[in-house]
Structure 1
Amino acid sequence: MVDLSQAMTPAMVAKTLRNRGIMISERTLRERARRIGAFREIGKAMFFMPEDIEALLEAAKPAQKPPTLSANQWTDKDTANLRATLIARERRK
């Protein structure tokens, strides 16, 4: 049988997060949980298990930015392409 002693309502989770300085309303918490499917529901009662909260926190991580082209990765071909683009713009003027 599943241990329900760790089950938390959205109100309990929102309060726990607020106590730790993470300001989120119960409504926003419910919306995000529904969006990613990280919750349990029996009838109209929504609740969270520890793995649901972990999934919510994982989904809250910002997306990684794609790596940018650094100067040491710039090639002669990139320079030639840039030069050709600039020359073509000048000719259009």
Structure 2
Amino acid sequence: MHSFDDAISPAVAVAMLQGQGIKISERTLRERARELGACRVIGKAMFLLPVDIEAILEASKPVRRSASAPSASAWSEADSLALYQRLREPRKKRQAKLPD
């Protein structure tokens, strides 16, 4: 069970982050906390526990791409060849058909 002694408001969390040189708005922190479900809300009041702050920080890590797995392209060598051939064909002038 958690204690209210460790609870802080989003405003206090933002002030702590800004004290460390990390610029974030209270609104952004509140939105992110709600999005992750990493907050406690009673009525209109929102507060954060240390476990919530850890969840927000963990979710904020950038996703690392695997260097060994090449990205799959939907464009194939055959598609490239077909496009090349189409671009090399001489253009035909379109003639408007006149009604009979």
User: TM-score with structure 1 length normalisation?
Assistant: 0.73
Distance 1:31 1:69, change over 3 A: closer
Partner of 1:75: none
Provide the C-alpha distance between the structure 2 equivalents of 1:69 and 1:14, rounded to a whole number of angstroms.
38
Unaligned runs of 5+ in 2: 71-76, 86-100
- 1:40-79 → structure 2 map (5 Å cutoff): 40-69=40-69
For the pair 1:4 / 2:9, whether they are aligned, the reply is: no
Deviations 1:22-77 (A, max 9, x none): 1001000000001111000111100000000000000100011133358xxxxxxx
Q: Which residue identity lines up with residue 89 of structure 1 in the other structure?
A: L
Unaligned runs of 5+ in 1: 71-84
Identity, % of aligned positions? 48
What is the RMSD of the two structures over their aligned residues, measured on CA atoms?
2.5
The total of aligned residue pairs comes to 79
User: TM-score with structure 2 length normalisation?
Assistant: 0.68
